[in-house]
Amino acid sequence: MRKQHAHLSDEALVAQVARGDEGALAELYDRVGRIAYGLAVRVLRDDRLAEDAVQEGFLAVWRSAASFRAERAKASTWILTLVHRRAVDLVRREERRRTEPLGEETIAAQGQVSEPTDEAAWLRFERERVQEALRQLPDVQREALELAYYGGFSQSELAKRLGVPLGTIKSRMFSGLARLRELLDESSQEGSWKPEFTS
């Protein structure tokens, strides 16, 4: 199946991705993934975070391929821009994490009252929502995502561990993340639970 994509230009591959062609996305990953990873490492200076940035960047490619305009930029430039944005977002997130106030345990140790905050309740709810969405994925997709994000395995390590080609792992993860996003969007639209934030 991959051979049919080998002769296509990057721009043609993006057009195929816009039609839901996972093989075209895997081909783009093979062509641009290494450069994208190098870019993410330079921004983040952390291998794991760089992998996350590349994964999220290619998920953005999957979701927004239909909006790509070849007259504005090369496909590879567009993809690298998406990965760079995700890397910068991760840098900001890590900076916020490092400058957050002391945790609940420290506050309690200082003799102050420690109560669950609305934000903590919200994070707990989000975690439960993700777990529920993961349970709805096909087993092979859920396994790949859980091992990658909770087990800390790279895609190459997963391929060896599970005894399947690297392209299969990439396809499972892309498909799983895309479906996970759909499930999370659906559950947020249902509005089954909304925390109340007090001032």
Over residues 78-114, the pLDDT tens digits come to 999 999 999 888 888 877 777 765 555 444 444 444 4
Please report whether residue 110 resides in a domain.
no
* Of 82, 49, 48, nearest in space to 68 by CA: 82
Nearest CA to 59 out of 181, 188, 183, 185 is that of 181
Contact of 26 with 174, CB cutoff 8 Å: yes
Instruction: Establish if 31 belongs to a structural domain.
Output: yes
CATH number of the CATH domain containing 31: 1.10.1740.10
Looking at residue 97, its pLDDT comes to: 74
Q: Which of 52, 115, 117 is nearest to 87 (CA)?
A: 52
Q: Are residues 142 and 84 in the same domain?
A: no
By residue range, what is the domain housing residue 149? Answer: 122-190
Q: Is residue 105 part of a domain?
A: no
Query: Domain for residue 139, yes or no?
Result: yes
142 pLDDT exceeds 60? yes
Half-sphere exposure of residue 188, counting CA atoms within 13 Å on the CB side? 10
* Same domain as 130, residue 63: no
Q: In this predicted structure, what is the pLDDT of residue 31?
A: 92
Domain boundary at 98, 113, 136, which?
98
